Chain A
Amino acid sequence: MIVRISGEGQYRLPDSDAERLNELDNRAVSAVEQGDETGFGELWAQMLALVETDGEAVGDDELLPSDVILPPRDSSFAEAAGEFTGEGLIPD
Chain B
Amino acid sequence: MAGLGGRMSTVMKSKISKLLDRAEDPSETLDYGYQKQVELLQNVKKGIADVTTSKKRLQMQSQKIEQSVVKLDTQARQALAQGREDLARAALERKTVAQTELQSLDTKIQQLVQQQEQLTQNEKKLRGKIEAFRTKKEVIKAQYSAAEAQVKISEAANGVGEEMADLGLAIQRAEDKTEEMRARAGAVEELEAAGTFDDLTQLGGGQDDIDRELAQLGAGAQVDDELAAMKAELGSGGGESPQQLGNGEDGK
Contacts and interface: CB of A to CB of B under 8 A. Distances in A.
Interface of A: 4, 6-9, 60-66, 68-72, 74, 82-91
A63 B118 contact: no
Contact of A91 (B1, B115, B156, B170): B1
Interface residues of B, number: 30
Interface of B is mostly: helix
Contacts of A83: 2-5
Given A7-B169, A87-B2, 4 more contacts: A60-B128, A63-B160, A88-B3, A89-B4
Interface in B160-189: 160, 162, 166, 169-170, 173
Interface of B: 1-5, 8-9, 111, 115, 118, 122, 125, 128-129, 131-133, 135-136, 155-160, 162, 166, 169-170, 173
5 closest A-B pairs by beta carbon, nearest first, are A63-B159, A60-B128, A83-B3, A65-B158, A69-B5
12 contacts: A6-B4, A60-B132, A65-B9, A69-B8, A71-B3, A71-B4, A72-B169, A83-B4, A86-B2, A89-B2, A90-B1, A91-B1
Given A60-B129, A64-B155, A6 B1 contact: no
Contacts of A72: 169-170, 173
Given A6-B169, A60-B128, A65 B2 contact: no
